[in-house]
Amino acid sequence: MGGQGNLVSGRVLAEAAVLAGYRPVIGETFGASRRGGTVFTHVRIGIDEVGPLIPAGAASLILGLEPMESLRAAISFASKITTIVLSTSPVQTLQSLSGQTKYPPVSDVLEAVSALCPATYPVELSGALRQTSGRLVLNSFVLGAAAALDSLPMSSSQIRESVANLMLPKDSNLAAFDNGFKDLEQRKLRGTKV
């Protein structure tokens, strides 16, 4: 969803891929041309040249900054090989705020996402981070959680370095990254997915 930070998150992943010796390509698709519209950022990482958009059903990893937008991305790009890390914090739309539509229960959204992606990791900003920085650092938190996965072609330190280089304010974004990393590491140790 526009305004959540997925464009800069794509740049962070691309820079980390360059640090790891890959040639990333970024592609972006926009829905409504105003803040709050659907935005997907595609990052393709490889040694050879690839096109900018991920083909349907071919995503290895989806990072979702909002539950319903994560589900939309999973419907279009996920398959049984896809891992998804997604925020469980909904962002109400103008339609849901005005009572025209109802935002579904997040548990229903997670159930639908997990049916599409066997490796589904829901994460949520906690405590002090949520109160002090909230949505301003959510993308760093989700990037930190993704960095804890074993399947990425770049290291967690390369992703963290890219967060430090591209995201301001640096200190709060690095704190969010580190918290996201710890959150997913603990989930992996407990074997917790959806």
Q: What CATH code is carried by the domain that includes residue 105? A: 3.40.920.10
Question: Is the pLDDT reported for residue 33 higher than 60?
Answer: no
Residue 142 CA neighbour count, 13 Å, CB half: 32
Q: What region, left, alpha or beta, does residue 21 occupy, with left being phi > 0 and alpha being psi -120 to 50 degrees?
A: left
Whether residue 157 lies inside any domain: the answer is yes
How many domains does the chain divide into? 1
Whether residue 78 lies inside any domain: the answer is yes
How large is the average pLDDT for residues 3-14?
86
- What sign for the dihedral angle of Cα 97, 74, 117, 23? negative
For residue 1, the model assigns a pLDDT of 41
Question: Is the pLDDT reported for residue 36 higher than 70?
Answer: no
Whether residue 137 lies inside any domain: the answer is yes
Whether residue 166 lies inside any domain: the answer is yes
What is the chain's mean pLDDT, rounded? 87
Does the global pTM surpass 0.85?
A: yes
Whether residue 100 lies inside any domain: the answer is yes
What's the domain range around 22?
6-190
Whether residue 153 lies inside any domain: the answer is yes
Whether residue 92 lies inside any domain: the answer is yes
Question: Is the pLDDT reported for residue 105 higher than 90?
Answer: yes
Calpha distance 74→59 (Å, rounded): 9
Residue with more model confidence, 28 or 71: 71
Mean pLDDT is lowest, of 31-40, 46-55, 81-90, for 31-40
Whether residue 1 lies inside any domain: the answer is no
Q: Are the beta carbons of 142 and 180 closer than 8 angstroms? A: yes
Residue with more model confidence, 136 or 138: 138
Question: Is the pLDDT reported for residue 157 higher than 70?
Answer: yes
pLDDT band at 35 (very low <50, low <70, confident <90, very high): low
Exposed/middle/buried for 128, CB within 10 Å: 0-12, 13-18, 19+?
exposed
